[in-house]
Chains A and B, each alone.
Chain A
Amino acid sequence: MWHALSSSFIWSLAMGKFNGEQKPLLKSGRALRWILLVALAGLGLAQPGMCAASEEPQAESKEEWTPPRFDERQKERNAMVRKIKSYALEDEAVLKAMSRVPRHEFVPEANSRRAYKDTPLPIGHGQTISQPYMVAEMTRQRKLKPESKVLEIGTGSGYQAAVLTEFTRHVYSVEIIKPLAEAAQKRLKRLGYDPINVRHGDGYYGWKEHAPFDAIIVTCAAGQMPPPLIKQLKPGGRMVIPVGAPFAVQSLMLVKKDKEGEVRSRSLMAVRFVPLVRKDKSSE
């Protein structure tokens, strides 16, 4: 326990955060933080179960970082964005983010041709890359700011995490299936999404070393809401959970923790449906 506590404490110092507040305790910046990071690594205080490459959120140390840009298949991306827009999702920032992230890089080669269709696609191990529209909607629901810290449970291909970096560089992602975690880690590095921290581990426990989070997305909820995740949600934070099968997300659930720590949920319904009297449809 002391091991974990001390690790967490030193880490907080290193990152200039303590008790969830954004107060820089050490002003010396990059150099001192790196010293502490190296010391941490040397002491072997990294948590077990992490991917070697993801044990330390290295990109946090960079002051300036802009998401990578890609030109390839831009026309197809624009068409995909137009499709998303046609569903009355008009948040410009979200649409811009969707137009920048190369979805074809996150899709298995066999399905690359269909990468910009508005459909979920299989990525192996029974997992999917979400329908672009759902990714856009989930991103919109999180209402992110540049300083927001986001935890994603279920990295999958890494596409959602990449989209999130268009809003904030503080993205943490946990994937329970090792081959997917490793592949996502490599892919994100290759594409230049350095700030994303991918960890192979059990998402049930969240990522307490970096808690609390402003937003959490759980892409693999199966009827149970892990208590550790609720604990790791910052007061005022939002957790978004797709509801339905992975290939058939029908709506989103939003869990909000108020300032007193009380949790309430909201269903972001897919349909304006009760009572749907057809003759009055035009008036709805």
Chain B
Amino acid sequence: MPLFRLRLAVAVVSMAVIGLELALRRALSLRFWHHFAYMVISVALLGFGASGTALTLLREKILPRWRTWLWCLALLFSLSMLLAPRAAQQVPLDVHFLAWNLSQVGNVLAVEALMFVPFFLAGAVIGIALMDRPENIAGHYAANLVGSGLGAVLTVLAMQVLSTAGLFTALAGLGFVGAAGLVPWRRASPALTSAGAAVAILLLCWLAPWEPTLSQYKMLSYFKDLEGTKIIHQTEGPLGRVDVVEGPAVRHAPGLKLGCSAPPHVVLVTDGDQLSSVFDCPKREDWAFMDQTTRTAPYHLFSRPRSLIIGAGGGADIGLALYHRSSETVALEMNPQIIAAMTGPLRHRGGSIYLKPSVTIINRQARGYLAATDREFDVIQVPPVGAFAASGAGLYATQECYLYTVESFHRMLEHLSGDGVLCITRWALPPPRTELRALDTAAAALRELGLDPAAHLAMIRNWATATVLAFNRPVTAEQAATLQNVCEQRHFDICYLPRAGDPKVNYFHQLPRPYYHEAAIALLSRERDAFLEGYLFDVRATTDDRPYFFHTLRWQLLPVLAEQVGGRTPAFLELGYLMSVAALAQGVLGAVVLILLPLLARVRSLLSSRRKAAVFGYFLLLGLSFMLLEMGFLQKFILYLAHPIYSAAGVIGGFLVFSGLGSYCSRLWRARPKRIITLAAAAIVLLSLAYFFLLDDWLALTLGRAMPLRFAVACVTVAPLAFAMGHMFPAGLRQVSANQPPLVPWAWGVNGFASVAATVGTPLLATEAGFGHVIFLAVLCYAVAGAISRWLPEK
């Protein structure tokens, strides 16, 4: 087989497999929530690791007919990309019942097992290609890397035009192209067979299209069950699928005063569950209903405010600003699909709010926009994100959210005019959690600016929402009186309001005690630390280092919670967190069973080998540290690249390409492997520490720039580190291979096991301890691995 054809096929298969990772993330986010994002990466690594083990054990059988194997496996890989998502859809997994019913863990396992298949097959294809003659391996490896990097970028681009189902079909098609390239030369029948199979299967996809289903607990599923519901528009992109739903019983106007009704509307549903209503309000007065929400409060302090809305969605908050005669309204909307829908098909159904002369819509994320502008606003409005029920159930517990952090609020406060007000609204959860965290986060941001939070903050609530108001200047008596009046008229309770005389703190929506008032007083006084220490939930301010705003459960206080709520305890367990724990347990178990246990067949040679402890330790630490750093950066770049899917594409692609380049170059240096390892470890430690201290400032320089530039900066940023990291594994393997060959499969196995464990463990570690600790742990692992390397086998 010509080398060029083989390498092209390897590149294409690599491209498809990285595309598959991103496509599965998309499909599973659509069906469930974001929980499966990290699980997909861990399953992919598990597949690659298990295929490595299998090839090690079956090497002698495969080698004589390796081309046939290659072709067959590539064909199966393509087929599995079509079949695995369809089969996974048949698994009756109800993520929500995970806290109540352990049998759901089996369903999670089944979904993982089905996702595992294509990654195993792809790993086997690439692995067999790398069994070629030693002089060819470097080229194959380069093809693998180029394909992987291209796969990440092209898949994100493909998501702009293809639906999720279409993406899987396209990837399968790509896989068939790869398989066709691997047909053993001079044999026409396999070529015809693979081409025939490809045509048949793609034709089948076209004739019987597959549609990803949604969890029956997503709001879109519920709406579809209502009579007369119609989906009047649907669009899909990398940031999610947007459905516009209309129907006689389709309603969504949360947070209104009790008994207040909303005008006719349709609902924008993102990924089946994030709702935002598009109200048909032709006249300014029609928006009066929004004046019955707690986020109306800041507008009553101005006559013609300049407003910034963070998250325009269906435009309700723009309507509120216009109702209050906002002189200029800037509204940020991250998802271009929503902007296109509002200014296109929904233009005559309430979408015209985007087209008002005083309204400017900007397709940016808040942090990026604020970094790029020096404009000031009288009101900065942060409406509640995340569905009420999903927030309460902890579905977002392990999701990074850089909107509600001290750094984010700090930046917003800097963009307030002299009398400006930052208005942050959250769902009122019983018992209060994220609402208090929003207050503490705003207080921390004010403290950073040298301001006294007790004089600059106010908090009000109704039965459904709580709103924190952060003032640029201390609250005046006049402002306090106005707010008190607003609250009285709209039946809002005051949680905290400086300079207010006898506020109603627990009158309209009563709690057993004025909990919000007591908590606010405590958080804004010297009792803060004692309060936070004693409070049943973690409501401490969130930072960019640990941006898990929705993770409030304190596991160490679970027994106390159970004592207090008894049978309701599972309702307080955060589902996002539970999913991560389940993924960790299953990932570790899977790695043991599929990667390590099969190697027991070679246990005799292991026992007779020297220095196995050093080999095990070295490769275990490498697996852990590599994935800790990669996953840490993946999470860290979500802020910079504005969305997890862009971050995944940039970081996974960047790490694969540059670490692969490092691996390739490690063979070119004349130094001994141990010397290379020492130098690489030192470089990694130094670079990581530099990143730790300088990365935020470095990225802040271009945070306000356009996406293509930021994507390029992200890739360039990870390049030196990934390049150095790429040296460690092949150099170590060369050392072992030259001196203790029986240990090579074990080195692969242990490394694969650690990679899987670290992939699913990193989000949990970051949730509990923050990214700083993740980076430090990775650096420590690399440093120890570097130190251990001196004990690697020698002649």
Which residues of A line the B interface, CB within 8 A? Answer: 83-84, 86-88, 114, 118-120, 122, 124-126, 131, 133-134, 176-178, 202, 204, 222-227, 230-231, 243-251, 253, 255, 263-278, 281
Interface centre among B258, B393, B537 (most CB of A within 10 A): B258
Q: What residues of A have a CB within 8 angstroms of the CB of B260 in the complex?
A: 227
Q: Is B217 an interface residue (CB 8 A)?
A: yes
Chain B 250-283 interface residues, beta-carbon cutoff 8 Å to A: 251-256, 258-262
Selected A-B contacts with CB under 8 Å, 16 pairs: A124-B216, A125-B216, A126-B217, A222-B219, A222-B251, A222-B252, A222-B389, A223-B464, A227-B260, A227-B261, A243-B392, A271-B536, A274-B519, A275-B531, A278-B560, A281-B560
Tell me if A269 and B431 are in contact (CB < 8 A): yes
Chain B positions near chain A (C-beta within 8 angstroms)? 94, 96-97, 99-101, 215-219, 221-222, 225-227, 248-249, 251-256, 258-262, 388-390, 392-393, 427, 429-431, 463-464, 491, 507-513, 515, 518-519, 522, 530-531, 534-537, 557, 560-561, 564-568, 570-572, 575
Smallest CB-CB separation from B561: which chain A residue? A271
The distance from the CB of A228 to the nearest CB of chain B, in whole angstroms, is 9
Knowing A250-B571, A271-B561, A273-B536, say if A177 contacts B252 (CB, 8 Å): no
How many angstroms between the C-alpha atoms of A251 and B393 in the bound complex? Answer: 12
Judging by beta carbons under 8 Å apart, are B99 and A178 in contact?
no
Count of A-B residue pairs with CB < 8 Å: 187
Cβ–Cβ contact A245 & B227, under 8 A: no
Instruction: Decide: B258 and A244 in contact? CB cutoff 8 A.
Output: no
B567 contacts A84, CB within 8 Å?
Answer: yes
Given contacts A247-B217, A248-B99, A265-B258, contact A274 B94 (CB under 8 A): no
User: Are B534 and A222 closer than 8 Å at their CB atoms?
Assistant: no
Instruction: Return chain B residues, CB-CB under 8 Å to A244.
Output: 389, 392-393, 571
Which of A202, A223, A268 has the largest count of B CB atoms less than 10 A from its CB?
A223
Measured between C-beta atoms, what is the minimum distance from A125 to chain B in Å? 5
**Given the complex, which residues of A lie within 8 Å of B512, measured CB to CB?**
267-269, 272
Residue from A83, A125, A265, A278 in contact with B510 in the complex, judged by beta carbons closer than 8 Å: A265
A184 CB to nearest chain B CB (Å): 14
CA distance A202 to B249 in the complex (A): 6
Within 8 Å CB of B99, what residues of A?
A: 248
With A126-B221, A176-B249 already in contact, 19 other A-B pairs whose C-beta atoms are closer than 8 Å: A122-B216, A133-B568, A134-B568, A222-B219, A223-B254, A223-B388, A244-B393, A246-B389, A247-B100, A250-B571, A251-B431, A264-B507, A269-B431, A270-B430, A271-B431, A271-B564, A271-B565, A274-B431, A275-B530
- With a cutoff of 8 Å between Cβ atoms, the chain B residues found around residue A119 in the complex are 97, 100-101, 570
Which residue from A125, A204, A231, A266 sits with its C-beta under 8 Å from B511? A266
CB-CB under 8 A from B571, the residues of chain A are 244, 247-250
In the complex the two chains form, what is the Cα distance from A178 to B463 in whole Å?
30
Q: In angstroms, how far is the closest chain A Cβ from the Cβ of B167?
A: 26
Query: What residue in chain A is nearest B256 (Cβ atoms)?
Result: A224
The answer on a CB contact under 8 Å between B216 and A266 is no
CB-CB nearest in chain A for B262: A224
List chain A residues, Cβ under 8 A from B218: 126
Residues of chain B lying within 8 A (CB to CB) of residue A274: 431, 513, 515, 518-519, 535
Separation of A202 and B509 alpha carbons in the complex (Å): 27
Is there an interface contact between A204 and B251, defined as CB atoms closer than 8 Å? yes
Decide if A253 touches B536 in the complex (CB within 8 Å).
no
In Å, the complex CA distance between A88 and B518 comes to 27
Q: Is B222 touching A269 in the complex (CB atoms < 8 A)?
A: no
Instruction: Tell me if B508 and A223 are in contact (CB < 8 A).
Output: no
Residues on the A chain within 8 Å of B567, using CB: 83-84, 87, 118, 131, 133
Chain B residue with minimal CB distance to A126?
Answer: B216
Cβ contact within 8 Å between A265 and B97: no
B450 to chain A, nearest CB (A): 28
Evaluate contact between A269 and B96: CB separation under 8 angstroms.
no
